[in-house]
């Protein structure tokens, strides 16, 4: 597929396709007409001798320096012959790029640079930058012929745009710098030779057009938003699997509840989790049906087949003497205490998932709104208006403004940057609750049978998640609040939006790891919960009420009058267990659990877990668990 760029209709989805899937681009013929008109206009104005910022003047704090007709040292003997090639106007644009390409650090990923190229081409097609059609076509050829400039990752302050990284991008057109071609790192000159392009000699304002804009921060933000969208879906899936594993309550997810506080992200999260849980008979299960884990021992099960189980189960019995004043409760629920506490609400990490996930989703949606505007905006300086009506001065048609300033993007990314640790934090809290026997509603400690006392189970998985959450939290400080002036204070307020966007994209990786660890843990917990409930159901189906009674503590003595009542209560418990058509999670949760189990087995006893962790992180990174779970 070839994506046509026209300066007005580029989408985040298209940028991701160009960046990640290697799609080619074409240039709108109508847009190229606009491009040519602006370039011709500038050429005519300069030929008429009118001074124009960045074309016949210096840049930034040098804006008060007017270019002369020739170099002041041309008349001296021994001058550099290279300096006599081309005009001062060309040299100004050339020097702008070669002196601004000073970034440091590891190169940006191929994905980010491809996105930068597409975004820069698109904004130049608006026809307000003064670049020539030939130069724009050469830039497009880099993208389509897989010449990807090498851009060290750090060096932009986000105003005047991404000057330094965009200079690294553009100097390849001059035959300078370095580029990746077909995966090989080579000189810019060699890269141009391989694709049959001569080095470009820059004309009026072309240096400014190429390096003055928000392309790096915008490209990084687009990719970060795309990843965050997938992670929001993953977070909802992890939350649903954990809620099923807890046999939790659905009341806090109900539509009429969220109609009373209709934040869009909150409403959408509640709807999505309800859908993920659809078909579950673990959610809202009566408290008395849920047994608690007991450590297996040789006397746990009388049937030889049951001896293969990795657990024992049990309940406590509430005798008649302890039900006084609670008669109404025990008319609804049977007098057994198992894994679930008799309370109508879950912990915040379960009950408040719509509010927390939803607030993060709202932050993401706000960032999407800003980025969607920026994708088809003109972000260089000065702006060229060749068709302005009744201009009295050149300043009416070549206007110095501040569209290069990245603050709209920076603040949007700051908002999302603060939200990412929040989503990771609530995920870690669910994970911690799953492994904590004091809070996991009857599941085994650290989700392992540990009958021999040798197993740690999932204990340290929570440590890793905690370390990642702490790291994310310490990285969440907004870069946008700390401006450091540049260009001798001519550029005295900058956005730092490029750092902000880079941080967010980097942070999505660790967010994915935290969510992966929750899914890894929740899959183990869910299997325990289902197996324990179905073991209780299978025992009840045999019809031997005394076998079920053997799993119940605090039973009355046989010679007491309560024994008959106890038998009736046990038989009622058996009937309720048998009525369930097998205990299982929601359909989407079951599907995700099955996908996990294709790669990672249930852990019966301690084993090396590093391979499991690597696999679950890969599954989350590839979005393989989402499928119909989105």
Structure tokens that stand for 342 in this block: 């008799």
CB 409 within 8 Å of CB 495: yes
> In DSSP terms, which residues pair with 399 in a beta bridge?
383
**Of 351, 395, 470, 475, catalytic:** 351
**DSSP assignment of 357-426:** HHHHHHHHHHHHHHHHHHTTS--SSSEE-TT-SS-SSGGGTEE---TT--HHHHHHHHHHHHHHHHHHHH
Distance CA 135, CA 550 (A): 84
Distance CA 14, CA 374 (A): 14
Structure tokens that stand for 331 in this block: 């008319």
Please say if 212 is a catalytic residue: yes
CA neighbor of 420 nearest in space, from 330, 360, 340: 360
CA neighbor of 210 nearest in space, from 111, 133, 124: 124
**Of 41, 287, 293, 404, catalytic:** 404
Going by the DSSP 8-state scheme, the letter that residue 339 receives in this structure is: S
φ/ψ of residue 146, rounded to 5: 60, 40
Distance CA 7, CA 33 (A): 12
Please say if 34 is a catalytic residue: no
Residue corresponding to tokens 């302890």? 322
Q: 613 vs 150, 405, 464, CA distance in Å?
A: 33, 42, 10
Going by the DSSP 8-state scheme, the letter that residue 54 receives in this structure is: T
CB 627 within 8 Å of CB 518: no
**Of 111, 206, 374, 491, catalytic:** 491
Count Cβ atoms below 10 Å from residue 298 Cβ, excluding itself. Answer: 7
**Of 329, 348, 463, 482, catalytic:** 348
**Of 34, 41, 59, 100, catalytic:** 100
Please say if 317 is a catalytic residue: no
Give 469's contacts (C-beta < 8 A, 6+ positions apart): 421, 424, 425, 428, 514
Give 476's contacts (C-beta < 8 A, 6+ positions apart): 417, 418, 420, 421, 507
CA neighbor of 590 nearest in space, from 187, 279, 233, 249: 279
Distance CA 475, CA 65 (A): 42
Please say if 351 is a catalytic residue: yes
Q: Positive or negative CA dihedral for 314, 320, 321, 325?
A: positive
**Of 41, 53, 458, 583, catalytic:** 53
**Of 212, 272, 381, 432, catalytic:** 212
Give 568's contacts (C-beta < 8 A, 6+ positions apart): none
> In DSSP terms, which residues pair with 5 in a beta bridge?
27
Structure tokens that stand for 416 in this block: 């999302």
φ/ψ of residue 181, rounded to 5: -130, 120
Distance CA 141, CA 397 (A): 30
Please say if 415 is a catalytic residue: no
Q: SS3 string of 430-475?
A: HHHHHHCCCCCCCCCHHHCCCCCCCCCCCHHHHHHHHHHHHHHHHC
Catalytic residues: 53, 100, 212, 348, 351, 404, 491
């Amino acid at each position: 597929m070839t994506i046509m760029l026209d300066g007005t209709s580029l989408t985040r989805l298209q940028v991701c396709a160009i960046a990640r899937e290697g799609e080619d681009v074409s240039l709108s013929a109508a847009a190229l007409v606009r491009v040519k008109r602006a370039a011709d206009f500038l050429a005519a104005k300069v030929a008429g001798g009118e001074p124009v910022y960045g074309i016949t003047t210096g840049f930034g704090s040098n804006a008060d320096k007017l270019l002369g007709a020739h170099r002041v040292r041309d008349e001296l003997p021994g001058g550099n012959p290279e300096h006599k090639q081309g005009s001062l106007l060309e040299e100004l644009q050339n020097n702008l790029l070669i002196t601004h390409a000073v970034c440091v650090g590891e190169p940006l990923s191929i994905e980010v640079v491809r996105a930068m190229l597409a975004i820069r081409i698109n904004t130049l097609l608006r026809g307000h930058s003064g670049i020539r059609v030939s130069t724009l076509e050469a830039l497009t050829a880099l993208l389509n012929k897989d010449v990807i400039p090498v851009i060290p990752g750090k060096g932009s302050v986000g105003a005047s745009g991404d000057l330094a990284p965009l200079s690294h991008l553009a100097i390849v057109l001059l035959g300078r710098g370095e580029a990746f071609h077909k995966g090989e790192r080579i000189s810019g000159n060699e890269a141009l030779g391989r694709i049959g392009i001569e080095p470009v000699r820059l004309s009026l304002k072309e240096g400014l057009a190429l390096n003055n804009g928000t392309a790096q921060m915008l490209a990084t933000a687009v990719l970060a938003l795309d990843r965050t969208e997938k992670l929001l879906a993953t977070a909802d899936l992890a939350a649903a699997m954990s809620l099923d594993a807890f046999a939790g309550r659905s009341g806090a997810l109900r539509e009429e509840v969220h109609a009373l506080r209709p934040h869009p992200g909150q409403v959408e999260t509640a709807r999505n989790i309800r859908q993920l849980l659809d078909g579950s008979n673990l959610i809202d299960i009566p408290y008395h049906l849920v047994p608690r884990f007991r450590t297996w021992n040789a006397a746990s099960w009388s049937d030889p087949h049951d001896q293969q189980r990795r657990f024992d189960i049990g309940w406590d019995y509430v005798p008649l003497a302890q039900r006084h004043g609670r008669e109404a409760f025990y008319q609804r629920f049977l007098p057994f205490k198992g894994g679930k506490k008799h309370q109508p609400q879950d912990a915040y990490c379960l009950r408040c998932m719509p509010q927390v996930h939803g607030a993060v989703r709202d932050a993401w949606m706000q960032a999407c709104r800003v980025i969607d505007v920026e994708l088809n905006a003109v972000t260089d300086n000065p702006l060229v208006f060749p068709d302005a009506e009744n201009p009295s001065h050149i300043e009416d048609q070549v206007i110095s403004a501040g569209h290069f300033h990245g603050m709209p993007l920076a603040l949007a990314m700051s908002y999302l940057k603060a939200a990412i640790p929040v989503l990771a934090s609530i995920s870690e809290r669910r994970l911690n609750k799953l492994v904590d026997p004091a809070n996991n509603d009857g599941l085994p400690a650290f989700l392992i049978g540990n009958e021999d006392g040798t197993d740690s189970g999932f204990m340290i998985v929570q440590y890793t998640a905690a370390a990642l959450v702490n790291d994310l939290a310490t990285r969440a400080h907004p870069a946008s609040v700390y401006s450091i002036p540049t260009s001798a204070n001519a550029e005295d307020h900058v956005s730092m939006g490029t750092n902000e966007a880079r941080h967010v994209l980097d942070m999505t990786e660790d967010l994915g790891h935290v969510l992966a660890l929750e899914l890894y843990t929740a899959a183990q917990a869910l299997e325990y919960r289902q197996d324990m409930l179905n073991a209780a159901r299978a025992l009840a189906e045999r019809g031997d009420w005394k076998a079920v009674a053997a799993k119940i503590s605090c039973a009355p003595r046989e010679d007491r009058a309560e024994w008959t009542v106890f038998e009736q209560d046990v038989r009622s418990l058996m009937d309720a267990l048998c009525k369930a058509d097998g205990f299982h999670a929601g359909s989407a949760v079951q599907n995700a659990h099955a996908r996990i189990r294709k790669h990672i087995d249930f852990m019966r006893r301690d084993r090396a877990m590093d391979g499991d962790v690597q696999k679950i992180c890969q599954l989350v990174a590839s979005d393989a668990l989402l499928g119909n779970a989105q």
